[in-house]
Structure 1
Amino acid sequence: MYTKLKLLSGAAILSIFATPAFAQQETAAGTNINNQATVSFTVGGTNGTATSNTATFVVDKKVNLSVVAVGGPTRVAVGSNDQVTTWTVTNLTNSTQDIRLTADQQNVSIPLLGTDDFNVSNMRIFRDTNNNGQWDAGDAQITYLDELAADASVTVFIVANIPNTPGVKAAIVGLQGTVAAGGSAGSLGADLVATSILTPDSPTTVDVVFADDANLLDQLRDGKHWAFNAYVIDSAVVSVLKTSRVISDPYNLLVNPKAIPGATMEYCLSVSNAGPGIATGMALSDIVPANTTYVPGSIVVGTPGTGTCILLGTSEDDDATGADESDPVGGSFDTGTKTVRGALGSVLPSTTVNVAFRVTIN
């Protein structure tokens, strides 16, 4: 089911990353509270006592729960499967209850999560069976929490597949908890129904009173609670632009040098990330072209944001190790394959990093 909405209230936005509300220990529903009074008196110099009957009432059921998304959006790649969002469900009712769980996708715009523009598939809910905070093979797929004790909290996961659709950015998902009847282990009880406010309190009957807050997709005091999170595509569009220029030649030196044998040429490779995600583990390689010789110590790897290819320094001299030249920011030259390498690391969106090196013309 995909619920289509357009606007999220300020209160609902705050509830997305709220901390679970843990109530103080409350008297359990169904508890009998008894009270008896004694009167002391004197009649004609004789002391006496009188004892009242026992007044008894039973504590009613105060129904409440909390569903909270743990952490921010889950960053995923296009076409990836079994991607996980994490949630915490807490039973704030003063008795043991079943909690029915519903995973859904919300076509909403949430400033903290983004704008929903693609649909996930194969959404499933798992309980963190081994309590390690991570979805793994030991976790059980569920549709409800069975016999969750009062004030107990459980971690659950929504696991879903991401479509192989270029250009998409975010899918907003929700998890709803609904308080259901407890008392029968191994089976889901019926959703609780509040006792009518038109019905007087019965001292011998456990009435049901909903005490939960309103949220985006549920009403005030309806025994339900929603929370929201998102899958955000962490893709990156990377491009490389390579240019060359003459630095000097043996005759004109630095004055309008020409690309003649013996001249020094500088190559500049500009690596750009157009986003929207961060490109990680980026590594550049370039084989020195035929009819040229690499200039030892000439590799310079820029830092993020570098926009020019002006050599600022040199690195260590060559030796005979094969991958034998490196500088402090990740450049190296492999003499065996005549390959220049640059370790660029993580490149932020809308950022360019440059790698420069020099050769001489044979």
Structure 2
Amino acid sequence: MKRTKQLLGAVSSIALIAFTSAPALAAGTQAGQPITNEVFVDYQVGGFDQTQASGSDTFTVDRKIDLTVAETGFIGRTQVAPNQTQAVIEFEVTNLSNDVADFVLTATPAAGNDFTLTNIIIFVDADADGEYDVGEEVTYLDELAADGVQQVLVAADIPVGVTAGQTADIVLTAQAAEGGTLGAQGDIYDATNTADDTEANTEDGTVNAANIDTVLADGAGDTDAIEDGAFTDTDGYVVAAADVTVTKASTIVSDPINGTSNPKAIPGALVEYCIVVSNGPGAATATGVNVADTLPVDLEFDETFGVFINGTVDGTGDCNADGVDDANSNFVDNVSGTPDEVSATLNDLAANTVSTLYFRATIN
């Protein structure tokens, strides 16, 4: 640091008064701020007051680079579903430096993830809808003021084949860079980008014309070291998947010869199909549960009986006759050999629950 001296001259009966000022900011005094300290000396000669002597010293406040990155929003990993696109996690970047700075952003999958994240995007949520929109992506934060805080969101796509409880994390890195030019990323601050205010005695041997040193003062994040001009934090996803299984069984209700007494699967016989949809213990709720059944051409759907949904099962897993006649079910009658088709939407399925759909058809 530059040192200055001013000789005050010989004195007697000396009274010293010193003055100083230090603006208070959370990040400290602004880099480049001159601080002047002035001293005044009153004295006498032979009992008579003499002209006051004074001296002063001025130095320029150097730049301290400090920052943090912290996950925000949902505490812990964010729950996602298989095949979900643009699943969002949230961070905050805080500029603890005493100067404006740019912050270069990178988002990388953490080591040891259970599955591969794709289409990772870093963005700033300009319209505050919590979702990624085209044009919101960023590679750096531009001109973040001292004490400034900026929310940064990361979106990624989840594969279709993941299972409940699997996790995948993302490490967000913010690397400080020189600010001062709007719309342009400055040079990275690291061990080679610091400059002494008057002497060429730094790592790169350069002299800062603005008389400002740069000191890296950041702490260690999740994967970075102390005093490297960067900070990292980790957030991620945990899969909350449904565990849906389907069983289908048929029962001969009657036939043209035996009626309902020991009926056989002969032409003209009436068959009841029982479809049971189950969601496993601890699974996520399954929504939009749509059942679609295309009948073989040898069967003709019984429109008179209809389609019953959201029933229960008995102790053997067969459908109980407690479903609700579904007026909204879809039926496509076979035409010119095209199979009949039956479809309906069941209620949402919570974990460890079942729902049924049953209908009847005649053997051609």
Q: TM above 0.5, one fold?
A: yes
| Contact in 2 for aligned 1:66/1:91 (Cα 8 Å) | yes
Cα distance, 1:241 vs structure 2: 0.9
The question of 1:280 aligning with 2:287 is answered yes
2:284 and 2:64 mapped to 1: Cα distance? Answer: 46
Q: Counterpart amino acid of 2:99?
A: S
| Contact in 2 for aligned 1:130/1:138 (Cα 8 Å) | no
Cα gap change, 1:333 to 1:167, in 2 (>3 Å) = closer
Cα distance, 1:217 vs structure 2: 0.9
Cα distance, 1:60 vs structure 2: 3.4
Cα gap change, 1:333 to 1:133, in 2 (>3 Å) = closer
The equivalent of 1:60 in structure 2 is 62
Cα distance, 1:172 vs structure 2: 2.6
Identity of aligned residues (%): 31
Based on CA coordinates, which of the two structures has the bigger radius of gyration? 2
Identify the match of residue 231 of structure 2 among 225, 231, 238.
225
TM-score w.r.t. the length of structure 2 is: 0.61
RMSD: 5.1
Cα distance, 1:28 vs structure 2: 1.4
Larger fraction in strand: 1
Cα distance, 1:26 vs structure 2: 3.8
2:238 and 2:49 mapped to 1: Cα distance? Answer: 81
Q: Deviations over 1:214-255 (max 9, x none)?
A: 222112343221122335667766442112346899xx99xx
What's the secondary structure of 1:281's corresponding residue? coil
| Contact in 1 for aligned 2:311/2:322 (Cα 8 Å) | no
Cα distance, 1:150 vs structure 2: 1.4
What's the secondary structure of 1:54's corresponding residue? strand
Q: Counterpart amino acid of 1:152?
A: G
Cα distance, 1:181 vs structure 2: 2.4
The question of 1:101 aligning with 2:105 is answered yes
Aligned length: 307
Which runs of 5 or more residues in structure 1 are unaligned?
1-22, 109-115, 316-324, 327-331
Cα gap change, 1:268 to 1:58, in 2 (>3 Å) = same
Q: Equivalent residues in 2 for 1:96-175 (5 A)?
A: 96-108=100-112, 116-120=113-117, 123=120, 125-128=122-125, 133-142=130-139, 144-158=140-154, 170-175=167-172
1:214 and 1:309 mapped to 2: Cα distance? Answer: 60
Q: Counterpart amino acid of 1:153?
A: V
The equivalent of 1:29 in structure 2 is 31
The equivalent of 1:190 in structure 2 is 188
| Contact in 2 for aligned 1:279/1:346 (Cα 8 Å) | yes
Cα distance, 1:257 vs structure 2: 5.5
Cα distance, 1:212 vs structure 2: 2.9
Cα gap change, 1:356 to 1:54, in 2 (>3 Å) = same
Cα gap change, 1:103 to 1:239, in 2 (>3 Å) = same
| Contact in 2 for aligned 1:85/1:158 (Cα 8 Å) | yes
Q: Deviations over 1:53-91 (max 9, x none)?
A: 33434333332212234544473655x877665543232
The equivalent of 2:319 in structure 1 is 309
2:177 and 2:126 mapped to 1: Cα distance? Answer: 21
2:39 and 2:292 mapped to 1: Cα distance? Answer: 90
